[in-house]
Amino acid sequence: MTGFFAGSDLTPNRIEQVRRQLDGHYIDLTSSNPTQHGLLFPAHVLEAAAASYWNQRRYEPQPRGDARARQAVVDYYAARTPALPLVLDDVFLTASTSEAYSLLFALLTEPGDNVLAPVVTYPLFEYLAELHHIELRPYALDEARGWRIDPASLHAQVDNRTRAVLIVSPHNPTGAIVSEALPALTTLGLPLICDEVFAEFTYRQPTTPPIGALHPELPVFHLNGISKLFALPDLKLGWIALNAAARPFADRLELLNDTFLGANALTQHMLPALFAAGGDFVRAMRERVRCNLDLALERLSACPVLRVHAPDGGYYLFPEVLGCDDEEELVIHCLRHGVRVHPGFFFGYERGVHIMLSCLTRTEQLEAGLTRLLAALAHL
């Protein structure tokens, strides 16, 4: 066998084997799918946004995407804090953030190059890097300083084949937000790929600044979409927004996006209406996540074997479990006590013992899951 999965062991790990044996008899505190937790974007807005499409339906593909949809993205960044000034040609519509990553890896790298990525990393990045035959080099996040980027680690990892730095803000799963310019990034002078899909979910910090506004001197590619922003993962629409310093890359990115034309015309047509009418829904969703974080932090902070910190944003918690040295056994132990959490090593982090739980979960489910989790930890 040859190809991407040739050397991969696809046998279910022990955690997955136990999960399957339990056949759903547990509370899942890992889910980040809003449609599974009653967070459904208003149907009447979707119906109205789609209605005007059908009578004028015509396939006229644009390599950067529909102009009205891109203008809605431009307006969105103009309203951010601080504002990020864009023009229409700075925005490229994609089918998803995953596709956007793939396009940027193709744009910025050649096989054998490397990209710097945070050591606590969503597993998707590893697979995309392997597909493009590039290396992800991990830079450290300082847990003691609220998971801030470690400048020394950035400099230690860079070499003559480093082509970009990947930043997730708010970070998944630690919740850290990059809230000010980092001199180390300016010194490196590399393009920045900034994943900000959780930007609207702030908690300890009041806003999520666009990285391109903090670092106007660097080429910055901002990745976002409607999956998290409007709880619409099924409608599949994302974007790449370039700051002014990234504009020299635009023509090549247009060619790459034109090669796939992944963004479907209906969702592009709907996007201006989603922005225009979706504000109340986003605020309500953000408030529910904040209330859930309040609840979880209160419950977990009282547990003597947990060290948990309030995140800057996002909707995950990533507490450290004290007095335990085996994450796999810990997560299996929790499953057998009726609650599912993820281990820290799922995110590539192997210092100490950590678990991840999602506060996007329905509040009643979260409360019941926390009770089971605390009971499991009391019986370690």
| pLDDT tops 90 at residue 313 | yes
| Average of per-residue pLDDT values in the chain | 96
pLDDT of residue 1: 45
CATH 3.40.640.10 location in the chain:
56-277
Mean pLDDT of 69-80: 98
* CA end-to-end distance (rounded Å), the chain: 43
CATH 3.90.1150.10 location in the chain:
14-40+280-378
Contacts of 311 (CB under 8 A, 6+ apart): 170, 174, 175, 176, 203, 204, 293, 317, 318
pLDDT of residue 319: 98
pLDDT of residue 122: 84
Report residue 95's pLDDT band, with 50, 70 and 90 as the boundaries. very high
Contact between 233 and 33 under an 8 Å Cβ cutoff? The reply is yes
pLDDT, tens digit, 9 for 90 and up, residues 158-190: 999 999 999 999 999 999 999 999 999 999 999
Which overall architecture, per CATH, does domain 14-40+280-378 show?
Alpha-Beta Complex (3.90)
pLDDT, tens digit, 9 for 90 and up, residues 6-45: 556 778 899 999 999 999 999 999 999 999 999 999 999 9
The matching CATH number, chosen from 3.40.50.300, 1.10.15.40, 3.20.20.80, 3.40.640.10, for 56-277 is 3.40.640.10
Give the separation between CA 310 and CA 91, rounded to whole angstroms.
33
Strands 114-118 and 162-168 turn out to be parallel
Contacts of 157 (CB under 8 A, 6+ apart): 116, 137, 138, 139
316 to 233, 291, 371: CA distances (angstroms): 18, 13, 17
User: pTM for the full model?
Assistant: 0.96
- Dihedral sign, CA of 170, 174, 180, 182? negative
